[in-house]
Amino acid sequence: MNWKEKYADKIVSAEYAVSLVQDGDKIIFGDWLGEPPALVETLYDHGMEKHDVTIIHGMSPGSNRCVDPAYAGHFRHVSTFLGPNSRPGYREGTVEYIGGTNFHKWPEMFAVSDILNPHWAFVQVTEPDENGMCSFGVDCSFTEPAVRTAAKGKVVAQINPNFPRIGGKMLHIDDIDYIVCQESPLYTIGRAGVNEKTQKIADYCASLIEDDSTIQLGIGALPDAIARNLMDKKNLGVHSETLTESMMELVEAGVITNSMKTINKGICIGSQLAGSEAFYRYCENNPMFEVHPVDYVNDPYIIGQNYKQVSINACLEIDLKGQANSESIGGIQYSGIGGQLDHVRGAQLSKGGKSILALNSTAKGDTISKIVPFHAHGNIVTVPRYDINYVVTEYGIANLKYKTERQRAEALIAIAHPDFRDELRFEGRKLGVL
């Protein structure tokens, strides 16, 4: 059989695909914006017919109906990254969180973990090309590894004609067991406005980025503001977990050329896209953009091969010893590590590389300092002090690399909100770091 005959032979309805899931099975959904809506919603529609089915996914953009207590005993819900849809369920005990594994190690986790393997992979891909190859579209990150490590005969793909074909890692029809052909609208991410504090932080961050650097940025108001401040830079490259709309704008402005990259010259490398449908269409069949799995994109030893790799990430708070918490509030998990530590470490393996952690100096209307003497009981250290390089607030830049405890504390207090500096000094003396 040629691939077209195989393709036709594998087509089933979403209802039939879901009916194959047996009690006690495990399913990994394609990650984030690449989650397959037709398969996910059909599974939820038939959820009361299932028992003890484990669902694993990241920051799901869909309805997440399975976290409803009504599905107790039917679905076990496991999240690799807590987002707005799964956070309430985590607090109520209907969602379990998988922590303690860096993002680039997730494919290995999928392959060997008793919790996750063997499993089904429910993914979303493009229509096949003339060679029977489908693109992972807006998300390859752990979607491709989910397929790669799935049990024999348990790969189900929603083929969505709306899905954009992005270069990089591909999936052949031979590696799909069941095909559900269904059109679905694309999940998109809007762009946040930039306030005065965010703009000041962006100004400081942008000042650290030199010509010829390769950058990693996330999504949100701060990365957008930083990108707008890079319009006067030359020959930037991109090696980033997420490819964003602001990167498209820098490509169009001639700022991002990828010409000085050590590896993947000429190409913006990422594991996923996040933005508008217009951004997805810009990247579609555009040889300048590729998506690959996280065990490539987020591997610190791959990242570190880039010349002047700069990683910029947000954190929630940092203590006077230089330990950053990026994922918990009041001792309770709030989000996840994602690829933050991967890129922090990768940037510092790079020749001329820099790692930047950025945060507002305060929260809740300037009533809480985000530079703290020590972390609250139960809060997580996402980036250990041994890996911290630059820390930026709206009050300036602190370079903590190769500094003593006293020098670190003094540098951090200097970029704290003025209303909290005396208190931080007092607490720093009590801790013996000042």
pLDDT in tens, 238-249: 999 999 999 999
Q: Could you say which DSSP state residue 127 is in? A: P
Query: Of the candidates 280, 286, 246, 313, which has an alpha carbon nearest to the alpha carbon of residue 33?
Result: 280
Query: What's the confidence (pLDDT) of residue 62?
Result: 85
% of the chain residues with pLDDT over 70: 100
68 pLDDT tier (thresholds 50, 70, 90): confident
Residue 46 near residue 19, CB atoms below 8 Å? yes
Query: What's the confidence (pLDDT) of residue 113?
Result: 79
Query: What's the confidence (pLDDT) of residue 121?
Result: 97
Query: What's the confidence (pLDDT) of residue 369?
Result: 98
Decide if pLDDT at 208 tops 90: yes
* Chain center to CA of 255: 24
Query: What's the confidence (pLDDT) of residue 118?
Result: 79
Q: How far is CA 240 from CA 142, 272, 303, in A?
A: 15, 9, 9
Helix (H, G, I), strand (E, B) or coil at 63: coil
Helix (H, G, I), strand (E, B) or coil at 392: strand
Query: Of the candidates 390, 304, 305, which has an alpha carbon nearest to the alpha carbon of residue 347?
Result: 304
% of the chain residues with pLDDT over 90: 87
Residues 131-161 have pLDDT tens digits of 999 999 999 999 999 999 999 999 999 999 9
All residues at 6 or more sequence positions from 146 whose CB lies less than 8 Å from its CB, including other chains? 28, 29, 30, 31, 110, 119, 121, 123
Decide if pLDDT at 420 tops 80: yes
Q: Which residues are catalytic?
A: 241
234-263 average pLDDT score: 97
425 pLDDT tier (thresholds 50, 70, 90): very high
Where does residue 98 rank: exposed (0-12), middle (13-18), buried (19+ CB within 10 A)? Answer: middle
Mean pLDDT of the chain: 95
Residue position matching structure tokens 């869909």: 62
Element at 180 (helix H, strand E): strand 178-181
* Chain center to CA of 299: 13
Put simply, whether the predicted model's pTM sits higher than 0.85 gets the answer: yes
Most distant pair of Cα atoms in the chain: their distance: 76
Residue position matching structure tokens 């990247």: 283
62-66 average pLDDT score: 82
278-300 average pLDDT score: 98
Decide if pLDDT at 410 tops 90: yes
Q: Could you say which DSSP state residue 370 is in? A: S
Query: What's the confidence (pLDDT) of residue 67?
Result: 83
Decide if pLDDT at 114 tops 90: no
Q: Which residues of 170-204 are buried (b: 16+ CB within 10 A; e: fewer)?
A: bbebeebbbbbbbebebbbbebeebeebbbbbbeb
Decide if pLDDT at 125 tops 90: yes
Query: Of the candidates 3, 2, 9, 1, which has an alpha carbon nearest to the alpha carbon of residue 181?
Result: 9
- How big is the chain by its Cα radius of gyration, in Å? 22
Helix (H, G, I), strand (E, B) or coil at 47: helix
Decide if pLDDT at 381 tops 90: yes
Query: What's the confidence (pLDDT) of residue 59?
Result: 86
201-210 average pLDDT score: 97
Q: How far is CA 432 from CA 159, 236, 377, 406, in A?
A: 60, 43, 19, 9
- Mean pLDDT is lowest, of 93-107, 166-180, 405-419, for 93-107
Element at 168 (helix H, strand E): strand 167-168
Decide if pLDDT at 58 tops 90: no
